[in-house]
């Protein structure tokens, strides 16, 4: 049986992509070992579904479409820099959402409700709209401290605003040069 790694996301505007890449360049000066996200792969993750049987993808795309349809397009501000689990212990570096974060969470919750009957359990962690900038690999305490200081310095970074008008279902293929994403479907916010 053939499987695909699947996730749902909000694609970003070219302006926010450019700003995120400028931010990555500012953070890159730290000596910490970080696998930085490729420009083409920058997006706001809504839900990671994992490995999914190929024949289930049509039902997933339908559920995401049904979740997105009632929503009216809304604006978000891409701003705020941080890390999971925390800036003091960075593992995943991210660009957040200030204005529009509530609508992003409502969009996520609508997907949760419609994907659960398809066998995708609800998230136990609180949803935080974020764009992954990079993932920290094993680094020395000094290098992590340097990265933490840069995260604090850029904590208020503002990448600009954009309109969220669709949700994309992606498949992800892991390769030697990192993941490659392919669009499976786009669901328009029609409300």
> pTM of the full predicted structure?
0.92
End-to-end CA distance of the chain: 37
Name the residue ranges covered by the structural domains of the chain: 3-188
Largest CA distance in the chain: 50
Q: Which residues are catalytic?
A: 43, 130
Q: Let me know: does 166 contact 45? Beta carbons within 8 Å.
A: no
CB atoms within 10 A of CB 113: 12
Does domain 3-188 sit in CATH 3.90.1140.10?
A: yes
Distance CA 115, CA 103 (A): 18
What is the tens place of the pLDDT at every residue in 94-120?
999 999 999 999 999 999 999 999 999
What is the tens place of the pLDDT at every residue in 120-166?
999 988 899 999 999 999 889 999 999 999 999 999 999 999 999 99
Beta bridge partners of 78: 97, 160
């Amino acid at each position: 049986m053939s499987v695909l790694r699947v996730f749902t996301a909000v694609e970003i505007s070219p302006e926010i992509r450019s700003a995120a890449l400028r931010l990555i360049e500012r953070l890159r000066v730290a000596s910490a070992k970080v696998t930085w996200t490729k420009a083409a792969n920058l997006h706001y993750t809504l839900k990671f579904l994992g490995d999914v049987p190929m024949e289930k993808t049509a039902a997933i795309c339908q559920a995401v479409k049904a979740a997105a349809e009632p929503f009216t397009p809304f604006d978000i501000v891409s701003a705020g820099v941080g890390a999971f689990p925390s800036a003091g212990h960075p593992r995943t570096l991210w660009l957040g959402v200030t204005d529009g974060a509530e609508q992003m969470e409502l969009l996520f919750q609508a997907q949760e409700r419609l994907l659960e009957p398809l066998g995708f359990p609800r998230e136990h962690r609180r949803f935080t709209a974020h764009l992954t900038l990079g993932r920290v690999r094993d680094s020395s305490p000094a290098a992590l401290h340097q990265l933490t200081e840069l995260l604090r310095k850029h904590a208020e970074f503002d990448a600009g605003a954009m309109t969220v008008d669709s949700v994309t279902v992606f498949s992800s293929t892991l390769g030697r040069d990192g993941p490659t994403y392919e669009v499976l479907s786009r669901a328009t916010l029609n409300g």
